[in-house]
Amino acid sequence: MSLLATLSYWLLLIEVWLILGLFFVILEVTLDGSMAIFLPLGIGSFMNGAALKIQHSTPIDSFTFLPETWEQTLICFAIFTVLASIALRFVVRHKKTDSTPDINDY
């Protein structure tokens, strides 16, 4: 089997993306825990697995935006990872609600 056929086979499997997502989330929890690198990759992998699951469980040509080739799968993974990173940035952003000054502000 050629390299492209092997790559096409493995990148279109839902289980591969779920295992990658779980691997990245475990790496995030065990290593740094900064939610900067591995957590968006894990969330992007889970979202990519969900998109592939939707594609496999619906009739042909019902959703045209879902990935059908390994190139489209990697592009969707990149887009999902960037969206997860932006969403995590908004979630983690802290607003100062206390009126007392912080001792670390100079």
The answer to whether residue 62 scores a pLDDT higher than 60 is: no
pLDDT digits (tens, 9 = 90+) for 30-49: 887 676 789 999 999 999 99
Q: Give the per-residue SS3 of the chain.
A: CCHHHHHHHHHCCHHHHHHHHHHHHHHHHHCCCCCCCHHHHHHHHHHHHHHHHHHHHCCCCCCCCCCCCHHHHHHHHHHHHHHHHHHHHHHHCCCCCCCCCCCCCC
What pLDDT is attached to residue 36? Answer: 78
CA pair distance 50, 46, nearest whole angstrom: 6
Mean pLDDT value across the chain: 83
What pLDDT is attached to residue 51? Answer: 87
- Look up tokens 């779980």; give the residue: 22
The answer to whether residue 20 scores a pLDDT higher than 90 is: yes
Q: What's the half-sphere exposure (Cβ side, CA atoms, 13 Å) at 60? A: 0
What pLDDT is attached to residue 24? Answer: 92
